[in-house]
């Protein structure tokens, strides 16, 4: 069955034309009407349709994995170490680079590496001594952060590519996008057995001990305390607690440092490396902590 009707529908719903705007407004009314008067649409269906209506506004930068979280392989890595990296990362595809991540050369699929295993007597397998990582490279898409997520989805479908690297204006690697990252913007999180458990917090006395990757929205939902910081009339474009602490201080803090928030909240860095904050102790203002 052709996927052209689906592409047409997505393009119509997420486009910027007058016709697209009218279609979106009509569907929004239908969703709201269903929510008020009848169970014609389930909660999941309403969420998915709502996500689809806003999908056209998303850019690649909105869905990409940031550079600091990219797991990639040097093209000169020994095959044994590459297999170990695949095992640790729990990914089926990894970007490949030459010397630094700013010089990407393609991607490698784990099944291509497994194809190099040769059987030995006794049922064991070993890697071919003549195999090279560079012989396994596949093409990878390079896209700008300003590209529409919809356009990237259609391009990835057309080229049968599941991974794209986001390249900034200077040619450096800015992030990574998988086709799953884009689909999740419509259907919600697609969890599998290898996904990490979402960062959680625990109460320790009057403080919260948290993973610095925790999303600010998740922290607000679990504690009722909003840590968003405004710069003039605009809210800082920050997603995680670790990013907030780094932004407040103007640099990556060291272990043991205490960083104050404008509302009186204090962040104590309990674990960090030279590139990022890992764990925090968050102490809310006394007036808020006693509520």
pLDDT at 101: 93
Q: What is the pLDDT of residue 1?
A: 46
Domain segments of the chain: what residues?
4-57, 62-187, 201-289
Task: Tell me the whole-structure pTM to 2 decimals.
Answer: 0.61
Given the candidates 3.30.300.30, 3.10.580.10, 3.40.50.620, 3.30.465.10, the CATH classification of the domain at 62-187 is 3.10.580.10
Which pLDDT tens digits describe the chain residue by residue (291 residues)?
Answer: 455 555 555 555 555 545 556 666 666 666 666 555 555 666 677 777 777 777 888 899 988 988 888 999 999 888 888 888 988 888 899 999 999 999 999 999 998 888 877 777 666 667 666 677 788 889 999 999 999 999 999 999 999 889 999 999 889 999 999 998 898 888 776 655 455 545 567 776 778 999 888 888 888 888 888 888 776 555 567 888 988 998 888 888 888 999 999 889 999 999 887 778 888 999 988 765 445
Residue whose C-alpha is closest to residue 82's, from 106, 119, 108, 105: 108
The pLDDT score that the predictor gives to residue 118 is: 73
**pLDDT of the residue at 116:** 78
Q: What is the CATH class of 201-289?
A: alpha beta
């Amino acid at each position: 069955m052709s996927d052209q009707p689906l592409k047409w529908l997505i393009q119509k719903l997420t486009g910027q034309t007058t016709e697209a705007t009218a279609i979106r407004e009509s569907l929004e009314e239908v969703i709201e009407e269903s929510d008020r008067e009848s169970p014609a649409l389930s909660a999941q269906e309403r969420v998915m349709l709502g996500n689809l209506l806003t999908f056209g506004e998303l850019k690649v930068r909105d869905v990409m994995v940031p550079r600091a979280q990219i797991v990639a392989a040097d093209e000169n890595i020994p095959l044994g170490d590459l297999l170990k990296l695949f095992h640790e990362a729990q990914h089926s595809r990894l970007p490949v680079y030459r010397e630094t991540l700013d010089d990407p050369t393609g991607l490698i699929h784990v099944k291509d590496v497994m194809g190099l295993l040769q059987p030995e007597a006794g049922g064991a397998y070993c890697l071919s001594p003549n195999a090279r990582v560079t012989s396994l490279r596949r093409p990878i898409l390079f896209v700008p952060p300003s590209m529409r997520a919809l356009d990237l989805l259609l391009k990835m479908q057309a080229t049968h590519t599941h991974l794209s690297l986001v390249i900034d204006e200077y040619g450096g690697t800015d992030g990574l996008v998988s086709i799953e990252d884009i689909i999740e913007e419509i259907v919600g999180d697609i969890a599998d057995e290898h996904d990490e458990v979402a960062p959680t917090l625990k109460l320790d006395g009057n403080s919260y001990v948290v993973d610095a990757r925790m999303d600010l929205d998740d922290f607000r939902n679990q504690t009722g305390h909003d840590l968003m910081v405004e710069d003039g009339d605009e809210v800082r474009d920050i997603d995680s607690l670790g990013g907030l602490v780094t932004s407040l201080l103007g640099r990556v803090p060291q272990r043991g440092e205490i960083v104050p928030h404008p509302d009186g909240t204090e962040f104590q860095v309990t674990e960090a490396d030279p590139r990022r904050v890992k764990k925090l102790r968050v102490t809310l203002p006394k007036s808020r902590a006693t509520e």
